């Protein structure tokens, strides 16, 4: 005999905030239990604990859905969950255990936790829903229960970019003093205050001007990557950015005098002022800033010789 059922109420709300070691936002989930009558009278119920998920773009996390068997008078039941992914946009991937129809057996009073996983990819920010249908089967009957739906909120990801504020980017002569100031800008589009760690590398040809460096918030440090006094410089900036806000650090660098007593750059070509700045824990790297040093031309008879491409042209 097919059993009748009805959804009674939503019971409890519990929340858990998951953070990385730097205090950066990763995800939020809240669980709520739905009790469902699947047999007439006062013979108990099935309980399914659903979840609300909040994720940033390009992140992923595991979650759980717990089913409880409170159907008295039955030795055991078999349960499976059937999620409907049709409302999800491209980019979001969700997996829920037993989506293939496999059943899990629960005795009276037992519970079973179904595992799940979500990946947000580049899906646009917004609210998305995955309805869950629960199939229950026992010796004298079965039920198809439209229980609840997983709510997934996708938030925009933090951003990091690098902007050159001053200094030449091309036509730079070799072995001449040059100076640049660039800005690293971090934005927080979420509804929560977030803490960030930003790391960057400044190449060995450049020094950092402590007097020309300042941050709108947070603290920063610079350290030599090696012990020669002429190695690359590692930068770390720790900053807390309010919800919907931004913060920046301005860094001034200048060309060094090398061990041979010559002003950098001593070779022509392209140079990074720094590597792309990394937003630790998010897998996000900013753009790099590149400058070009001209290759000098010298006379060889009536020809001008270019050191960069090793070609010569007749002097006009």
- Residues 9-24 pLDDT 10s: 222 222 222 222 222 2
Considering the domain architecture, whether residues 217 and 150 belong to the same structural domain is answered as no
Over residues 128-145, mean pLDDT: 88
88 and 185 in a single domain? The answer is: no
Number of domains in the chain: 2
Same domain, 144 and 54: yes
165 in the same domain as 289: yes
Residues 42 and 11 in one domain: yes
Q: Answer with the residue of higher pLDDT: 24 or 135.
A: 135
- How distant, in Å, are the alpha carbons of 154, 280, 288 from that of 164? 32, 22, 10
- Residue bearing tokens 């399914």: 48
pLDDT for residue 2? 30
Residue 308 lies inside a defined structural domain of this protein:
no
| CATH (domain of 273) | 2.60.40.290
Q: For 37-83, write each residue's pLDDT tens digit.
A: 444 334 457 888 888 998 888 888 999 999 988 877 767 889 999 99
Q: 137 and 219 share a domain?
A: no
Asked whether residue 106 falls in the same domain as residue 143, the answer is yes
235-239, 289-293, 306-310: the lowest-pLDDT one: 306-310
Domain annotation covers residue 310: no
Q: Which of 125, 155, 185 is the last residue of a domain?
A: 155
Secondary structure in 3-state letters for the chain: CCCCCEEEEECCCEEEEEECCCCCEEEEEEEEEEEEECCCCCCEEEEEEEEEEEEECCCEEEEEEEEEEEECCCCEEEEEEEECCCCCCCCCEEEECCCCCCCEEEECCCEEEEEEEEECCCCCCEEEEEEEEEEEEECCEEEEEEEEEEEEEEECCCEEEEEEEECCCCCECCCCCCEEEEEEEEECCCCCCEEEEEEEEECCCEEEEEEEEEECCCEEEEEECCCCCCCCEEEEEEEEECCCCEEEEEEEEEECECCCCCECCCCCEEEEEECCCEECCCCEECCCEEEEECCCEEEECCEEEECCCCEEEECC
Query: Does residue 182 lie within any of the structural domains?
Result: yes
The CATH number that applies at residue 61 is 2.60.40.10
User: Are 111 and 22 members of one domain?
Assistant: yes
**Domain encompassing residue 289:** 159-298
Q: Give yes or no: residues 87 and 210 share one domain.
A: no
The answer to whether residue 223 is domain-embedded is yes
Whether 309 maps to a domain, the answer reads no
Please give the Cα distance from 82 to 111 (Å, whole number). 18
Residue with tokens 């950092």: 208
Q: pLDDT tens across 121-132, in order? A: 889 889 999 999
């Amino acid at each position: 005999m097919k059993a009748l059922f009805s959804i009674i109420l939503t019971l409890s709300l519990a929340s858990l905030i998951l953070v990385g070691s730097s205090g950066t936002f990763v995800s939020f989930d809240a669980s709520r239990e739905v009790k469902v009558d699947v047999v007439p009278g006062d013979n108990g119920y099935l309980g399914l604990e659903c979840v609300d998920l909040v994720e940033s773009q390009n992140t992923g996390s595991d979650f759980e859905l717990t089913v409880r068997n409170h159907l008295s008078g039955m030795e055991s039941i078999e349960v499976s969950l059937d999620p409907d992914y049709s409302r999800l946009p491209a980019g979001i991937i969700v997996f829920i255990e037993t989506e293939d129809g496999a059943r899990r057996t629960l005795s009276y009073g037992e519970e079973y936790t179904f595992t799940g996983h979500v990946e947000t990819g580049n899906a646009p920010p917004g609210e998305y829903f995955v309805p869950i249908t629960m199939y229950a089967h026992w010796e004298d009957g079965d039920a198809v229960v439209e229980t609840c739906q997983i709510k997934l909120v996708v938030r925009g990801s933090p951003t990091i970019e690098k902007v050159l504020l001053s200094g030449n980017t091309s036509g730079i002569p070799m072995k001449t003093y040059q100076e640049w100031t660039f800005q690293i800008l971090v934005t927080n589009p979420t509804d929560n205050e977030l803490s960030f760690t930003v790391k960057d590398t400044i190449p060995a040809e450049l020094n950092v001007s402590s007097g020309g460096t300042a941050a709108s918030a947070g603290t920063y440090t610079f350290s030599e990557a090696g012990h020669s006094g002429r190695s690359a410089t590692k930068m770390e900036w720790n900053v807390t950015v309010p919800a919907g806000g931004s913060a920046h650090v301005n860094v001034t660098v200048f060309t060094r005098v090398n061990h041979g007593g010559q002003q950098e750059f001593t070779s022509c070509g392209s140079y990074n002022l720094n590597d792309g700045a990394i937003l630790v824990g998010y897998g996000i790297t900013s753009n790099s800033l590149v400058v070009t040093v001209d290759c000098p031309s010298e006379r060889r008879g009536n020809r001008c010789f270019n050191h960069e491409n090793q070609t010569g042209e007749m002097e006009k």
